[in-house]
Amino acid sequence: MAFTGLMAVAFQCMVLVAAAPPSDYPIAPVPFTAVHFQDGFWLPRLETNRTVTIPYCFSKCEETGRIENFKVAGGLSDKAWRGGAGFDDSDVSKIIEGAAYSLAVKPDAKLEAYLDQLIGYYAAAQEKDGFLYTYWTARHTVKDPKRVACRPEKERWDNIASAHQLYNAGHMYEAAVAHYQATGKRTLLEIALRNADLVCSEFNENGRRDPPGHQEIEIGLAKLYRVTGQKKYLDQAKFFLEQRGRATGRRLYGPYSQDHKPVVEQSEAVGHAVRANYMYAGMADVAALTGDRRYLQAVDRIWENVVGRKLYLTGGVGARGGGEAYGDDYELPNLTAYCETCAAIANCLWNHRMFLLHGDGKYIDVLERSLYNGVLSGIGLDGKSFFYPNPLESDGRHARSPWFGCACCPSNICRFMPSIPGYVYAVRGDELFVNLYVGGKADFELGRQKLTITQQTRYPWDGTISLRIEPQQSPARFVLKLRIPGWAQGKPVPSDLYRYLDDHPEQPSLKLNGQPLPCQPTAGYVAIDRQWQSGDTVELSFPMPVRRVVAHPAVEDCRGKVALERGPIVFCVEHADVPQGKVLNLLLPDDAVLQSRFRPDLLSGVQVIEGTAQSTRFEKTADGGKRIQQQPVNFTAIPYYAWAHRGQGEMTVWLARSLEVARPLPAPTTASTAKASSSGGDPSALNDQREPKSSGDHSNKFLHWWPRKGTTEWVQYDLARPTEVRAVEVYWFDDTGRGECRIPESWRLLYRRDGQWLPVEEPSGFGCEKDKYNRCQFKPVTTDGLRIEVKLQPNWSAGIHEWRVEP
Ligand SMILES: [Zn+2]
């Protein structure tokens, strides 16, 4: 990919490139360096990424030893290698990639000098033959080798299934190409090429045949091929893909790493979602660059599977936390949705490539959905608070984090954000695709014609877009292909996984220089083929009513529920926008009137949806039964991407449409009206009246004392009023097989009298059994406070799901 506007670099590139690649994608993106956002939505986010996120993430890498590790490996520091995993190197490379993109659009001498310094550490850390993996090279300095997850055991390429040597390499190649294209400097590129040459000589038909456990190097190698013209790098990418699912002298890694069958025979998205989507992107690259139709057919089949059965409404993928993985068909739980930020980014990378292969707008529909929702939710408005998983529902346990031990997501944000302008336009021969609508200006070449195109719009808040076309020499004949988003054609996704509940009569419209044109898209685009004059103006109008969306009935967790959308934005209801902060018990009838308006004061300026829902709650009836009571409450729904900026609490994308699926709040009890406190953990879990399915149920909120072990702990209720109490019931948390919490060794119950804690008399027993309530009946006492003292088992921690009190 050439970078328009950097003629010196482009010239240098031409001199250096041995031979032009014989084939590539039939469609070429207009590079991000040629597309300048001037809008109120993306530009501020990109500026925050440039001025906050990138420097912040570099400082986090310094703080956590990620950068020092290169110096340690290179003999420039006598400190010990620090970190939790061998893949920590990749974070630095991803941020360098993002910084290089940032330099490409905004020169910054200080940043460039900082990168030079980092690249110096890379050079020092690289072994003579090109090997570069700081953990291995610096391993003798590691203080606690047990802390280093997935390390090579005996030799440096050892444990390639989980040690990430090749994953790191892939990110370094991407960073090297970005740095070279941004600055014209070959420093990092030379390091990358030396490493790639070593990889090519080690991994081949006559050498090692084990593919990387975590895909990524395939994308990096394709980029090295494009920038050097050396076919061996492309061959190497294909070699790694060809090894997957083929047990030649090795044991297969299995579906977790998409190593269960040859890639060209795969039809279903399985396993670790980031690995999977990077692999599908790599397969698309190989399909485009080699013309191998088996690859094309395989990614087409897998795409149908994801978009038809495994895609969240937010464009996120990866349903399961266990294995960070794709689930089965239609397995799309909301509270426990994993939807890793990296997987959403990878989904954009893959869908963009699918578009470049096929030229169909449906791929951009998926990209746009991921971009505005599942990706953007991963980065806070401040540019330095992150989500790793992006669930579609919260009971209050989720919060943005300043960093992660495994920091793949923040560093991925660093590099992805500056590349977004590169998704707006693309060209094929005399066709110009307009894929995304963002206010701003682009200057690029279409054939031999220089062209400026200016977009004016308030998208995604408003569906009116004005495009001004200025060919340098007019008239200029070309085909302008305007994407008519699926959501504007009544189809939220290009499958039957989600559909709009309501019909909307207003259709998209199109005008050329004020004259209406037909707006009937083919494969997602309306084409205008004409002799363009400078100043020609195209106006698009996409009506943006509030839409109700329902899911395919096979999606169990969405059955009977509705979500709200407007344009490309998915909305959610959050605790801060509802009285008492309760949203999981809300019911939104189909006939409830919904309105939308822009709130400049809220969350950096967002469109909101307002309406009246029904808050549902159980109440006791005179005959001892219970019925559901409904109470109207006004609510405000905000864009999903902007949630979790106002404290922790409930959030949901999907709302019940009827009483059958509503989740009413339980009737108030002695426990639920008590004030809970504890010696550790989150005491609000004790009396939230949400029932666990088992002691190991991680989806239900629980209190735990981990990492404390073997200690004596307590939980306490201050009752709303003095009450006669005769029994309590405790449901223990125990995550045997997963974590370090076990049922406790013993416990006892105290009650408060005159400010003193006294043990209850004649207790029926203090059970420590799993998967049930442990009931303790005793001689009734009238009290204003109860306390449970818990003795933890030696070497084990403990926790409680729920603590009930019987008056
Ligand atoms: Zn990640």
pLDDT of residue 15 exceeding 50: no
- Looking at per-residue pLDDT, the higher value among 667 and 566 belongs to 566
**Centroid of ligand 1 to alpha carbon of 111 (angstroms):** 25
**Centroid of ligand 1 to alpha carbon of 407 (angstroms):** 7
How many whole angstroms separate alpha carbon 791 and alpha carbon 745? Answer: 6
* 195-224 pLDDT per residue, tens: 999 999 999 999 999 999 999 999 999 999
pLDDT for res 6: 36
* 82-122 pLDDT per residue, tens: 988 889 999 999 999 999 999 999 999 999 999 999 999 99
How many percent of the chain have pLDDT more than 70? Answer: 97
How distant, in Å, are the alpha carbons of 51, 98, 230, 782 from that of 33?
18, 13, 25, 73
**Centroid of ligand 1 to alpha carbon of 48 (angstroms):** 20
Q: Which range has the worst mean pLDDT, 145-154, 266-275, 332-341, 444-453?
A: 145-154
pLDDT of residue 308 exceeding 80: yes
pLDDT of residue 151 exceeding 90: no
pLDDT of residue 719 exceeding 60: yes
Mean pLDDT on 637-660: 97
pLDDT of residue 181 exceeding 60: yes
Q: Name the catalytic one among 200, 339, 342, 408.
A: 408
Q: How many of the other CB atoms lie within 10 Å of CB of 556? A: 11
698 confidence band (pLDDT: 50, 70, 90):
confident
Known catalytic membership, residue 62: no
**Centroid of ligand 1 to alpha carbon of 90 (angstroms):** 11
Tokens read off for 93: 């490379």
pLDDT for res 420: 97
779 confidence band (pLDDT: 50, 70, 90):
very high
How many whole angstroms separate alpha carbon 281 and alpha carbon 274? Answer: 11
What is the number of H-type helices and E-type strands within the chain? Answer: 16, 30
How many whole angstroms separate alpha carbon 177 and alpha carbon 13? Answer: 11
pLDDT of residue 378 exceeding 70: yes
- Looking at per-residue pLDDT, the higher value among 150 and 523 belongs to 523
List of residues 6+ apart from 146 with CB closer than 8 A: none
Residues 37 and 423 sit within 8 Å (Cβ to Cβ): no
Mean pLDDT on 305-331: 97
pLDDT of residue 14 exceeding 50: no
**Centroid of ligand 1 to alpha carbon of 306 (angstroms):** 19
How many whole angstroms separate alpha carbon 661 and alpha carbon 658? Answer: 6
Locate all alpha helices (DSSP H) within 406-562, ordered by sequence: 408-416
379 secondary structure, DSSP code: B
Mean pLDDT on 613-620: 93
**Centroid of ligand 1 to alpha carbon of 318 (angstroms):** 12
Q: Which range has the worst mean pLDDT, 99-108, 113-122, 618-627, 643-652?
A: 618-627
Residues 52 and 414 sit within 8 Å (Cβ to Cβ): no
Residue in this structure with the two tokens 């125990």, named with its chain if needed: 734
Q: Round the average pLDDT of the chain to a whole number and report it.
A: 94
Mean pLDDT on 253-280: 97
Residues 3 and 181 sit within 8 Å (Cβ to Cβ): yes
Mean pLDDT on 163-187: 97
Residues 165 and 90 sit within 8 Å (Cβ to Cβ): no
- Looking at per-residue pLDDT, the higher value among 44 and 397 belongs to 44
* 464-491 pLDDT per residue, tens: 999 999 999 989 999 999 999 999 999 9
Known catalytic membership, residue 57: no
How many whole angstroms separate alpha carbon 788 and alpha carbon 642? Answer: 39
Beta strands in 381-422 (DSSP E): 393-395
- Looking at per-residue pLDDT, the higher value among 145 and 731 belongs to 731
Residues 266 and 302 sit within 8 Å (Cβ to Cβ): yes
pLDDT for res 502: 85
How distant, in Å, are the alpha carbons of 29, 161, 162, 675 from that of 157?
36, 10, 11, 56
**Centroid of ligand 1 to alpha carbon of 344 (angstroms):** 9
Q: Name the catalytic one among 324, 368, 393, 713.
A: 324
How many whole angstroms separate alpha carbon 741 and alpha carbon 702? Answer: 11
**Centroid of ligand 1 to alpha carbon of 404 (angstroms):** 9
* 400-424 pLDDT per residue, tens: 999 999 999 999 999 999 999 999 9
pLDDT for res 650: 96
pLDDT of residue 7 exceeding 70: no
Q: Which range has the worst mean pLDDT, 114-128, 684-698, 702-716?
A: 684-698
pLDDT of residue 5 exceeding 70: no
**Centroid of ligand 1 to alpha carbon of 406 (angstroms):** 8
Residues 636 and 609 sit within 8 Å (Cβ to Cβ): yes
pLDDT for res 19: 43
pLDDT for res 499: 98
22 confidence band (pLDDT: 50, 70, 90):
low
Q: Which range has the worst mean pLDDT, 14-18, 275-279, 373-377, 583-587?
A: 14-18
Q: Which amino acid is at 319?
A: A
For every residue of 603-638, which 3-state class applies, written as one string? CCCEEEEEEEEEEEEEEECCCCCEEEEEEEEEEEEE
pLDDT for res 699: 81
**Centroid of ligand 1 to alpha carbon of 241 (angstroms):** 22
Locate all alpha helices (DSSP H) within 370-480, ordered by sequence: 408-416
pLDDT of residue 16 exceeding 80: no
pLDDT for res 468: 98
Mean pLDDT on 672-682: 95
Residues 259 and 293 sit within 8 Å (Cβ to Cβ): no
Mean pLDDT on 516-528: 97
